[in-house]
Amino acid sequence: MIQRVGVIGGGQLAWMMAFSAKRLGIDLIVQTPHANDPAVSVATEVILAPVADAQATSALAQKCDVITFENEFVDLEALFHLKKQGVRFAPSLEALEPLLDKYHQREFIASIGLPVPRFTALVEPTQPLDFTFPVVLKARRHGYDGQGTFIINSLDELSNTYNQLKSVPLLIEEFIPYTQELAVIAARSNTGEVVVYPVVETQQKNQVCHRVIIPAQVSLLIQSQIEDLSRHLLNELQAVGVFGIELFLTSDNKILVNEIAPRTHNSGHYTLDACNISQFEMQLRSVTDLPLGTTDLNCDGAVMVNLLGYEYADHDYAQKRHQLESIKNAHVHWYGKTESRPGRKLGHVTVLAHGNQANYSELLKIADTIESLWYS
């Protein structure tokens, strides 16, 4: 059994993975730039260095048997040199390569027969477009939590945003008037075993996820189609690890793939409490060649709400967290960050539901209660 796993990145995803590592008897060694990053306090060992520092990753490789990822901000070309020296990465660098640039990701998804919004690379704001406003403009690299994504309503707005972003490579695509935003976590092992978690609904504001409703209120056909496309995607990539897949459901019941994250994902945080095997344990199982196990829920339904910063402050919000913990069947996860700023993910709350409480309207009421306590 592989017992030493390296993680590039030391944020809350690696922090949550560390607790699963301890349960599995796995040493987690983290490469992260800041001594106050969440995973530093719980990792077996830490290398303080930028995520894209390949020399630090080489030192990380000396301490572990396999290296996995918490984010996509890596220097892939430099990592390929380490692979030639025998360093093992999971997912493989070949699986990451078509996904890190969002334009290349779109091309890859379309090339394997999965539906995506119409898209093109934006070279200049005056180029002819084959779709009408509004459109979606995205930075091709390094965008997350709504950063680098813009809803554009006019040619003037497109030109102004383009000029503000200066030399950032951009992707432009049609705006999809979806009825629901959906997501799913899927994992694949080195033997080709694929498991898929329940399909969930994500509710976003300003391109940032605020809530996740588990499971999504969709038909069995839609669930089956999403499971099938997840398996197809991971098999085409020959991926090893956990992947987060974001999707649109249109008014005519068509599914479009929005984005793919080659790692654990915010839409899967509910699995820590609502499933017997969380996405973080599943990531470790897949990269250490352990059997993947079940993705079943241990409840009838659940809601997960992100605790986002709403002010600039240095605060632990202990009183508010105590109020949240008093909600029946609530599980509060606080990432230990010392600095709050608007939009920053400071923690999340998952509430498990059983019986009648698990219906959609009741889950929305629970989410409203959490947000009213947190943002009051």
Supply the CATH number for residue 166's domain.
Answer: 3.30.1490.20
Q: Is 259 annotated as a binding residue?
A: yes
Candidates 374, 256, 260; CA nearest to 319 is 374
Q: Tell me, what's the pLDDT at 167? A: 82
Reported as a single tens digit per residue, the pLDDT across 52-68 is 999 999 999 999 999 99
Residue 325 sits in which domain range?
Answer: 180-375
In a domain, 110, yes or no: no
| Distance set, CA 66 to CA 3, 16, 27, 30, 351 (Å) | 9, 18, 11, 12, 34
Separation of alpha carbons 330 and 352, rounded Å: 7
Q: Is 119 annotated as a binding residue?
A: no
Q: Is 138 annotated as a binding residue?
A: yes
In a domain, 216, yes or no: yes
Query: CA angle, 334 as apex, 330 and 338 as ends, to 5°?
Result: 155
Separation of alpha carbons 170 and 167, rounded Å: 9
Residues 298 and 356 in one domain: yes
Which CATH number do you get for residue 202? 3.30.470.20
Q: Is 151 annotated as a binding residue?
A: no
* Mean pLDDT, range 299-309, rounded to an integer: 98
Cis-peptide, bond into residue 215, ω within 30° of zero:
yes
Tokens of 245: 């897949």
Q: Is 260 annotated as a binding residue?
A: no
Q: Is 277 annotated as a binding residue?
A: no
Strand partners, 174: 135
Reported as a single tens digit per residue, the pLDDT across 312-359 is 999 999 999 999 999 999 999 999 998 999 999 999 999 999 999 999
Q: Tell me, what's the pLDDT at 160? A: 94
Q: Tell me, what's the pLDDT at 225? A: 98
* Alpha-carbon 33 to chain mean position: 20
Q: Tell me, what's the pLDDT at 144? A: 65
Residues 136 and 184 in one domain: no
Residues 191 and 297 in one domain: yes
Q: Is 173 annotated as a binding residue?
A: yes
Q: Is 174 annotated as a binding residue?
A: yes
Look at residues 174, 194, 213 and tell me which one is the last residue of a structural domain.
174
In a domain, 364, yes or no: yes
* For the chain, percent of residues with pLDDT exceeding 90: 93
* Mean pLDDT, range 303-314, rounded to an integer: 97
Which CATH number do you get for residue 40? 3.40.50.20
Asked if pLDDT for residue 145 goes beyond 70, the answer is no
Residues 51 and 155 in one domain: no
Q: Is 163 annotated as a binding residue?
A: no
Q: Is residue 336 within 8 Å of 15, Cβ to Cβ? A: yes
Separation of alpha carbons 54 and 80, rounded Å: 10
Residues 248 and 276 in one domain: yes
Reported as a single tens digit per residue, the pLDDT across 174-230 is 999 999 999 999 999 999 999 999 999 999 998 899 999 999 999 999 999 999 999
Reported as a single tens digit per residue, the pLDDT across 26-43 is 999 999 999 999 999 999
The structural domain count of the chain equals 3
